[in-house]
Amino acid sequence: MKKLLVCIALVLVSLSRCVESQLQVGFYKDSCGLAEFIIKDEVRKAFVKDRGLAAGLVRMHFHDCFVRGCEGSVLIDSTPSNTAEKDSPANNPSLRGFEVIDNAKARLEAMCKGVVSCADIVAFAARDSVEITGGFGYDVPAGRRDGRVSLASETQTNLPPPSFNVDQLTQMFTNKGFTQEEMVTLSGAHTIGRSHCTSFSNRLYSFNTTVNQDPSLDPTYATMLKQQCPQGSNPNLVVSMDPPSPNMMDTSYYQGIVANRGLFTSDQTLLTNSATANQVTQNARNPFIWKNNFAAAMVKMGKIGVLTGSAGEIRVNCRVING
């Protein structure tokens, strides 16, 4: 029995390495040499018009990879018979940047028809978004193919809600192959972007049966948030997730947590565990190390559950599976 288990473990390891080996840096250099340049150009044009789209594209990659793997299922539109991932409460109305992917895909199809996958476009666009907001650029191994299934119901068990505590976050990231330290590193993506008030309003007005306001929230910050998000206000109201530098990939997010200014429960909870609290403090002090670790964690995330070889398809339109 022990030998059998060892054999199974070896097979699983070799399979994961096989998948990784099928993803290659420079995958399109012969088949569509300008692919990465075109995607970067579309990200740049979108960023000039709306700086918040960079955060949207990073989040899109995360939400794609954590549900079914990095295979572009987050891009598929709902149909009368199926509610797709993008229309789940976790993604609608907060997820954005779909038009950037559409624009890049249209240009790529005109130049190299049926070559570049939607899943790879999302991965490249996320990298370009990290870089354009001040993070470290990194090489993206490519060769992902596109999935044909997208179910809103699968987001519920695969995407961490803003109410998660540190143990729940650690478990969910462990399920995807990440260490606790990598979870803390990737949480730093909250240094850019915005949040709807509804994602944290319970911390301001209905924390528990004893107190209305979360006692772990800095009172001055709470007062500011209440001004931006009045109780019972428009559910479409949004605030910056990292007010000091909402469009910069920096360690201000971690400095905010140290000062009890984490926006979500899932941010502030990182101080409740000695190991994660130590990582938060270290990241706050060492921007270079965090940016380096973040880039490495993004590359690792981009390998989750990928389809390669003849699996899946290369979608013609990222919103619709091929007929």
Could you give the residue numbers annotated as active site?
63
* DSSP3 helix / strand / coil % (the chain, rounded to 5): 55, 5, 40
Q: How far is CA 100 from the centre of its chain?
A: 16
Write out the two tokens for 302.
């981009």
Q: How far is CA 34 from the centre of its chain?
A: 25
Write out the two tokens for 45.
């044009």
* Alpha-carbon span 90 to 97, nearest angstrom: 15
**DSSP 8-state symbol, 142:** B
Write out the two tokens for 157.
């068990």
Residue 136 and residue 251 in contact, taking contact as beta carbons nearer than 8 Å? no
